[in-house]
């Protein structure tokens, strides 16, 4: 374990050296002591912390049997690990992404570095265990850290089984997901009634509905929050990347648009982690930049939201 730790530290440090070259603003604005510490978030009700930036796999890791693209995705995951990432999110809905993740984890010997999160995505409520087992074979992990009911599909039955699985030690955490702002009322009711460890929902600098109810409720009830679609599926870059960052971006710890979008999210006190997806090493480096340095305060967050609205 000690060996593994020092190897991991070495990899992170090497990765950060590259990141520092890429994002000098970020490192110039941080005090020496914090520059190399990733921003960690405690999982509510536990002593465990996870890095505040994870990664998603929708579309980006669904490359089928394409060896050339699999090799590229392995590089993406390697960069993620090197820069201190652990939380990876998948779903049986994402085509071959689970198999590609399995191949990447094998290639990088990454099974013990990952916080593996997947979903149960079937209308058949008696299939919970079987689907979790299929996914763990595809990822090559003994068990998942987190199993989530995907988009509330068959949630009653699945959640009952997931609770039993958690009690038996077959999974560490359980949760539910939604996205695009769908079914928030039902989502809130489940959050009120069920013993959830995590919820996953869409939140970004433009889609802020969850700030009104779901995020405060998660904070109050001690539920971890994983944020999907942090870049609105990439459209935030298409809309804003050609615009300049505000003059005060550096003061908020922001060196590029990826950091702008991600730091806005993870600086919300209820958020445990954001899971941007990318197929490119360069983008992964930019995204992981948000895991380091200063975070915007409440005033700066408001200015960030106002700024994108003004563009």
Would you put residue 128 in left (φ > 0), alpha (ψ -120 to 50) or beta?
alpha
Q: Which stretch binds another protein (CB under 8 A): 27-35, 39-47, 53-61, 215-223?
A: 53-61
Q: How far is the CB of 28 from ligand NAP (least distance, A)?
A: 20
Task: Kindly state whether residue 49 participates in binding another protein, applying the rule CB under 8 A.
Answer: no
Q: How far is the CB of 47 from ligand NAP (least distance, A)?
A: 26
Binder of residue 283, out of ligand NAP, another protein, none (CB less than 5 to 8 A by kind): ligand NAP
The footprint of another protein on residues 226-245 (CB under 8 A) is 233
The footprint of another protein on residues 80-109 (CB under 8 A) is 93-96
Cβ closest to another protein, residue 70 vs residue 266: 70
> CB within 8 A of 84, min separation 6: which ones?
12, 15, 16, 38, 51, 288, 291
Distance CA(42)–CA(4), nearest Å, equals 22
The site map against ligand NAP for 216-255 (x = CB under 6 A) is ------------xxxxxxx--x------------------
Distance CA(145)–CA(219), nearest Å, equals 21
Could you please report the per-residue DSSP string of 263-295?
HHHHTSTT--EE----S-HHHHHHHHGGGSS--
Q: Which among 292, 272, 270, 275 has a CA at the least distance from the CA of 43?
A: 272
Query: Strands, DSSP E only, in 56-103?
Result: 87-89
Would you put residue 308 in left (φ > 0), alpha (ψ -120 to 50) or beta?
alpha
**What tokens were used for 47?**
């002593």
The single residue among 23, 50, 62, 148 that binds another protein, judged by CB under 8 A, is 62
Q: How far is the CB of 176 from ligand NAP (least distance, A)?
A: 9
Query: Strands, DSSP E only, in the chain?
Result: 40-42, 49-51, 87-89, 115-120, 146-149, 173-177, 198-202, 224-228, 273-274
The site map against another protein for 130-149 (x = CB under 8 A) is --------------------
Q: Which stretch binds ligand NAP (CB under 6 A): 29-37, 158-166, 213-221, 281-289?
A: 281-289
Interacting residues toward ligand NAP by CB under 6 A: 56-58, 60, 89, 150-151, 177-179, 200, 228-234, 237, 258, 275-280, 283, 286-287
Interacting residues toward another protein by CB under 8 A: 58-60, 62-66, 68-69, 93-96, 180-183, 233, 279
């Amino acid at each position: 374990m000690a060996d593994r730790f020092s190897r991991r530290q070495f990899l992170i440090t090497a990765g950060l050296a590259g990141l520092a070259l890429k994002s000098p603003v970020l490192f110039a604005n941080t005090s020496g002591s914090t520059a190399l510490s990733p921003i960690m978030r405690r999982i509510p009700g536990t002593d465990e912390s996870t890095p505040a930036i994870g990664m998603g796999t929708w579309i980006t890791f669904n490359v089928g049997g394409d060896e050339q693209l699999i090799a590229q995705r392995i590089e993406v995951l390697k960069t993620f690990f090197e820069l201190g990432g652990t939380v990876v999110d998948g779903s049986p809905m994402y085509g071959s992404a689970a198999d590609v993740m399995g191949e990447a984890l094998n290639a990088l010997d990454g099974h013990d570095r990952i916080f593996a999160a997947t979903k149960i995505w079937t209308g058949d409520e008696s299939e919970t265990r079987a689907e979790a087992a299929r996914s763990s074979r595809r990822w090559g992990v003994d068990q998942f850290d987190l199993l989530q009911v995907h988009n509330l599909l068959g949630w009653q039955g699945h959640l009952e089984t997931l609770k039993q699985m958690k009690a038996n030690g077959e999974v560490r955490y359980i949760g539910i997901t939604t996205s695009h702002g769908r079914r928030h009322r039902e989502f809130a009711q489940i959050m009120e009634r069920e013993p959830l460890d995590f919820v996953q929902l869409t939140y970004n600098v433009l889609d802020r509905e969850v700030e009104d109810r779901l995020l405060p409720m998660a904070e109050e009830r001690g539920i971890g929050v994983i944020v999907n679609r942090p870049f609105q599926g990439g459209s935030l870059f298409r809309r804003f990347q050609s615009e300049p960052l505000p003059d005060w971006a550096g003061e908020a710890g922001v060196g590029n648009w990826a950091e702008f979008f991600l730091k806005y999210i993870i600086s919300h006190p209820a958020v445990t982690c954001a899971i941007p997806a990318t197929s490119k090493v360069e983008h992964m480096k930019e995204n992981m930049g948000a895991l380091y340095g200063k975070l915007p305060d409440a005033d700066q967050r408001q200015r960030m939201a106002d700024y994108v609205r003004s563009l």
